[in-house]
Amino acid sequence: MSGLEVVQGGGSAPAVAADGLGKRYGAKWALRNCTLEIPVGAVTALVGPNGAGKTTLLQLAVGLTVPTAGEVRVLGLSPRHDAHALLPRVGFVAQEHPLYRGLSVAETLKVGKRINPGWDNDFALGRIEQLGLPLGLKVGKLSGGQQAQVALTLALAKRPELLLLDEPVASLDPLARREFLQTVLEATAETELTVILSSHIIADLERVCDHLIILSQAETQLVSPIDEVLASHRLLTGPRTDPATIARVNRVIRESHTERQTSLLVRADGHAYDSSWELHEVDLEEIVLAYLGHRRAGAATGATQRSSDRDVVRS
C-alpha cells in the first residue's frame, strides 16, 4: 500500500453480501434472517457465544454448506454456482486448523502449491523461515501456535482477496495469539485483503478489527463499523425511571434497576439527554456483552440482576 489511501474501497462492491440468508438443520435454525454487507479491505470480528451461528455463516460464505433461505454473494460471486472461480480467491482456516500431521512442513507447502493456482511460493517459504520452523519437521510435532501459523501461511500463500478465520486463536496461548494476529494484520497492510475472524474471545478485537458483527441465537444483533459502535453506545445512570420514556428515542440494549437507580445501555445516535441522566462511555467488551445478554460482574452500578430480571435488589 502506498501513501495514505483508504483501505476500504469506497463505492466498490462489498466483499461479502448476505440477503435474508438462513440455514436450518432439521427444525433448528443455525442462522436466519441474516442481511449484511462487509466492505472490501475491512477486518471484521464475528462474535457470539458457541452455537450462535458463526461457523455456519463462514461455511455458507465458502459454499461448504447450502443456504435454506436467502443468498450470500462473496466477491460478487455465488459460492454455490461459481465455486471454481471463487475458491482460489478465498482463504479459509477452519477451527483447530486441520493439517496432515504426518506430513513435514515442506511437504505441506508442496501440497499447497499443487492445489492452488495462485500459490506464492516465495511468500510461503519466507513466512516459514521468519517463523523459524524447520522444513523437515513433521507438522504433528509442532506446537499449537506453530500449527496455526502453518495453516495461516497456507491460506495467505494463495494470495486470497478474502480470508475467513474460524476461531483461529481460541486454542492459542497469549503470545501465539498475538503472533497469529500480527501475521494477519501485516497481510492486510500490504494488500486490499478483507478478513472475517470469528471469535468468542472479545478482548483485543477493538484494536485488531474495524467492523463488528454480533451473532446470538442464530440472528445478527449488530452489524457496524467499530468506530460507530463506540460512538453510539452509552451507559445512562439516573434515578429509577421507566425505561419506556427513553426507549422512544433510543434503543435500550440492556436495562437494570436497583431500588433507586436505573442503568440503561442504549444505542444513542447523537440524541440529547435529560440532565438527570449521567452519561458514561462504554468499551467494546461491555457493549458486546450487553447484546449477548450477559452482565459483567462488578459493572458500573453494582446492580447484580440480569436485564430481564425486574426484581429490586436490596443492598
Query: According to the binding rule CB under 8 A, does residue 228 interact with another protein?
Result: no
The three-class DSSP label of residue 210 is coil
At closest approach, how far in Å is the CB of 14 from another protein? 16
Determine the Cα angle at 44 with ends 54 and 194, to 5°: 110
* Minimum distance of another protein from residue 93's CB (angstroms): 18
Q: How far is the CB of 280 from another protein (least distance, A)?
A: 11
Q: How far apart are CA 296 and CA 302, in angstroms?
A: 10
Q: Which of 70-78, 155-163, 206-214, 285-293 is the region at the interface with another protein (rule: CB under 8 A)?
A: 206-214
* CA distance linking residue 133 with residue 162, whole number of Å: 26
Contact residue for another protein among 3, 10, 11, 132 (CB under 8 A): 3
Residue 150 found at the interface with another protein (CB under 8 A): no
303 contributes a contact to another protein by CB under 8 A? no
Q: Is 120 in the site for another protein (CB under 8 A)?
A: no
- For 244, 249, 265, the CA distances from 252, given in Å and listed in that order, are 9, 9, 6
Compute how many residues bind another protein; rule: CB under 8 A.
25
Residues 160 to 199 in contact with another protein, rule: CB under 8 A: 178, 181-182, 185-186, 188-190
296 binds another protein (CB under 8 A): no
> What dihedral do alpha carbons 96, 169, 192, 91 form, nearest 10°?
0
142 CB neighbour count, 10 Å cutoff: 19
List residues bridging with 196 in a β-sheet.
Answer: 44, 164
Binding-site ranges for another protein (CB under 8 A):
1-8, 41, 43, 178, 181-182, 185-186, 188-190, 204, 207-210, 230, 281
